[in-house]
Amino acid sequence: MPVKPFHIAWTLLLALAAAGLCVYLRTPLPWMIGPLLATACASVAGAPTRSWPPLGNLGQWVIAIALGLYFTPQVMALVASLWWAITLAIVWALVLGLAFGAWLHRVNAQSMPEVAPAAMRATSYFAGAIGGASEMTLLAERAHARTDLVAASHGLRLLLVTVTVPFAMQFSGLHGLDLNPPVLRAVQWPGFAGLALVTALGAWAMQRLGRTNPWFMGPLLVSMALTMAGVFLSGIPPWLTNGAQLLIAVSLGVRFSRAFLHAAPRWLLSVAAGTLGMIALCGGFAWLLTFATRLPLATLILGTSPGGIAEMAITAKVLQLGVPVVTAFQVCRLMAVLVLVAPLYRWFYPAAASSAGRTGA
């Protein structure tokens, strides 16, 4: 799609106005939720909303740097002691995604006869997996699934989780871990320039290696490594992290369209219902983990929530609910899902996988 500067500028102004309104109304995550809802609604209404991918990458880059600054040696010792809980959360996410996919197939297969049985099985499976939207869509394409339905399900899941969980956190009165070192507030511009340079090199390296989400994972790993080594170059100014949240929200919101709602309403309704059910189940799982880990419930809810890394980590950062623990849970889960979800599909559904392979041959 060609770059349309006017449409991009109009979308950003709409997002900025929505963020300002949410700041005035004192909603949770105003720089994320306001722009996300505004651009999603405008896109569904048929407005010419556009997002420029480099801006979305910029937003992920800034947030990744900010998150990495929380991983001090003391915090890493705490995270390392939770390896068993993180492993349990990974198993939980895989089982929950498998169950969600099976439920989507059972609810929708009979009403979508135009989709071949093998393709429907793959579509339901990858739509239910709790992983990144772009990564799951790519894996679904390789399995010859309906990628439009997979992308739509993950987009709707992220929207629902990003909107409902922060509101629930703010209005529940739950508190998390206070792991916000005072040094994070100190902005030193020469050091900030150096931090930007080395983290950009991290993104470049991840991109050259063909890794997923390079503009988030690369800067995050570099920023974490520096912080764990006791090297502090600079904090991140609040206005920059606010702007980064807005850019990420816009990149999510423009994925929706008028055709999005009309393509498969029954499918989207089942995805919405299933997502709300997963949020509740993850809340219950987090509650059980509190007895074993002695960690605050709010922190574990965000760590096990079926949302994206950036969105849940931003929630933890803004509401001060334990950024390192939430980020560690979410990052480890994503890496495990990316590695295991395709082999598990071939294991659980060998007939569908082999049928799709013959179709694509």
Whether residue 302 lies inside any domain: the answer is: yes
Domain carrying residue 267: 69-187+259-360
Contact 260, 45 (CB under 8 A): no
* Residue 7 belongs to some domain of the structure: no
Nearest to 31 by CA among 349, 333, 318, 356: 318
What span, in angstroms and rounded, lies between the C-alpha atoms of 155 and 133?
7
Is residue 41 domain-resident? no
- pLDDT tens, position by position, 96-106: 999 999 999 99
What is d(CA 340, CA 219) in angstroms, rounded to the nearest whole number?
A: 24
DSSP state, residue 49: -
Q: Is residue 1 part of a domain?
A: no
Does 231 map to a domain?
no
How many structural domains are present in the chain? 1
Q: What pLDDT, on a 0 to 100 scale, did the predictor assign at position 102?
A: 95
Range list of H helices, the chain: 5-25, 30-44, 53-68, 73-81, 83-108, 117-128, 133-142, 147-172, 189-208, 214-228, 238-253, 258-263, 265-293, 297-304, 309-319, 323-348, 350-360
- Output the CA torsion 107→111→117→120 (10° steps): -60
In a domain, 235, yes or no: no
Residue 350 lies in a domain: yes
d(CA 19, CA 22): 5
- The reported pLDDT for the residue numbered 28 is 83
Separation of alpha carbons 3 and 52, rounded Å: 7
pLDDT of 361 reads 41
Q: What is the pLDDT of residue 101?
A: 95
Alpha carbons 305 and 164: distance in angstroms, whole number:
11
Q: What is the SS3 assignment for 125-154?
A: HHHHCCCCHHHHHHHHHHCCCCHHHHHHHH
Phi and psi angles of residue 27, each rounded to the nearest 5 degrees, phi first = -80, 160
Q: In the 3-class helix/strand/coil scheme, how is 216-253 assigned residue by residue?
A: HHHHHHHHHHHHHCCCCCCCCCHHHHHHHHHHHHHHHH
**Has residue 141 been placed in a domain?**
yes
CA distances (Å), 37 to each of 47, 160, 298, 306, in order? 14, 10, 24, 19
pLDDT tens, per residue, the chain with 361 residues? 566 889 999 999 999 999 999 999 988 889 999 999 999 999 988 899 998 999 999 999 999 998 888 888 888 888 899 999 999 999 999 999 999 999 999 999 888 888 888 899 999 999 999 987 777 887 888 888 888 888 888 888 988 998 899 888 877 777 766 655 555 557 888 999 999 999 999 999 999 988 777 998 899 999 999 999 989 899 899 899 999 999 998 988 888 877 767 767 889 899 999 999 999 999 999 999 999 998 899 999 999 999 888 788 888 887 777 888 888 899 889 888 888 998 999 999 998 887 755 554 4
pLDDT at 137: 82
Per-residue pLDDT at 179: 58
Q: How far apart are CA 206 and CA 80, in angstroms?
A: 24
What is the pLDDT at residue 201? Answer: 97
pLDDT tens digits for 48-78? 999 899 999 999 999 999 888 888 888 888 8
Say if residues 130 and 334 touch (Cβ distance below 8 Å). no
In angstroms, the CA 174 to CA 286 distance is: 13
